[in-house]
Amino acid sequence: MSFFSYFVSGISLGSIYALIALGYTMVYGIAKMLNFAHGDVIMIGGYVAFTAITTMQFPVWLSICISILACIILGVVIEKIAYKPLRNATPLAILITAIGVSYLLQNVALLIFGSAAKSFTSVVPKFSVELGGVSITGETIVTIAVAVLIVICLSIFINKTKSGRAMLAVSEDKGAAQLMGINVNSTISLTFAIGSGLAAVASVLLCSTYPQISPYTGAMPGIKAFTAAVFGGIGSIPGAMIGGVVLGIIESLSKAYISSELSDAIVFGVLIIVLLVRPTGLFGKKFNEKV
């Protein structure tokens, strides 16, 4: 394989990280919490899609919709039950709760589906495209296209709609947002809904590219997407997208040219270096409070 094909598959992997990272970063921006259960929402989304496609024999589009819907409901319910009562608790209590929810989801999946990985049927019809003498798989192309489309829709939603503006307002100043008549609780719910919906899309793409699913499927991509969000500057939407793609490329190239065993270490090493140089990440907010 050539450099170009590694690069493209890095972009594709990175697009998946970016979709997951958006969930982390939006929730952080608005609810000011790290939702460590986000990775496991991905895994649940994968299982829902798997069950719908393989067990129920539903058409692919319907299965994807069911998976998205299931993740949205799951995300909103998790927020209502586990995080909302802790809205004014210390960040540490919320963090521990999030880790608890993460293990809960993993164990529920273990209980229902068992620990053995199941093979996932790709949702992308089999095709490939020749580009510059390199064959690019359908999954790669669809993943990148879907990610680009989602990012465009998301930025239109956030910048052009009333609910999107409300999200921006809440992320900047909850109190002032309330004074504008914005319902902070429903804005937070909406954020969890969007983040979890994106997680479902990411899960279907992830399980199509690496065609299997286990209760731990979400853990590593979740951590890496979180890394991408921090790398890009947590709370920043462009940061999460660029962070995700850059991370995917680094991972893909280091697997190809350095060592596939070391690739994760390299990814996290880059994060550490970035944070040493720019503690707020690539697009992180500077602290420019006006007195």
Partner 1 sequence: MLRVENVEVYYGVIKAIKGVSFEVNQGEIIALIGSNGAGKTTILHTITGLISPKSGSIYLEDTDITKIPAHKIVSMGMAHVPEGRRIFQELTVYENLQLGAFIMKDKKQIEKNLEYVYKHFPRLKERKNQIAGTLSGGEQQMLAMGRALMSNPKILLMDEPSMGLSPILVSEIFQIIKEVSADGTTVLLVDHNAKKALSIADRAYVLETGKIVLSGDAKELLNDESVKKAYLGE
Give the nearest distance from C-beta 167 to partner 1 in angstroms. 11
Give the nearest distance from C-beta 90 to partner 1 in angstroms. 15
Q: Give Dmax (Cα) for the chain.
A: 61
Cβ atoms of 63 and 49 within 8 Å: the answer is: yes
Q: Which structure tokens are listed for 249?
A: 């490329």
Rule CB under 8 A: is residue 206 a binding residue for partner 1? no
Give the nearest distance from C-beta 79 to partner 1 in angstroms. 18
Rule CB under 8 A: is residue 128 a binding residue for partner 1? no
Helix (H) or strand (E) holding 69: helix 60-78
- 277 or 291: whose CB is closer to partner 1? 291
Give the nearest distance from C-beta 21 to partner 1 in angstroms. 20
Rule CB under 8 A: is residue 288 a binding residue for partner 1? yes
253-265 burial: b if 16+ Cβ within 10 Å, else e:
bbbbeeeeeebbe
**DSSP bridge pairs for 118:** 213
Task: Determine how β-strand 128-131 pairs with β-strand 134-137.
Answer: antiparallel
- 178 or 280: whose CB is closer to partner 1? 178
Give the nearest distance from C-beta 88 to partner 1 in angstroms. 12
Q: What is the spatial distance between Cα 40 and Cα 220, in angstroms, rounded to a whole number?
A: 10
Name which of residues 159 to 198 contact partner 1 (CB under 8 A): 162, 165-166, 168-169, 172-173, 175-184
Q: What is the spatial distance between Cα 272 and Cα 281, in angstroms, rounded to a whole number?
A: 10
Q: What is the spatial distance between Cα 274 and Cα 146, in angstroms, rounded to a whole number?
A: 28
Rule CB under 8 A: is residue 156 a binding residue for partner 1? no
- Contact set with partner 1 (CB under 8 A): 162, 165-166, 168-169, 172-173, 175-184, 288, 290-291
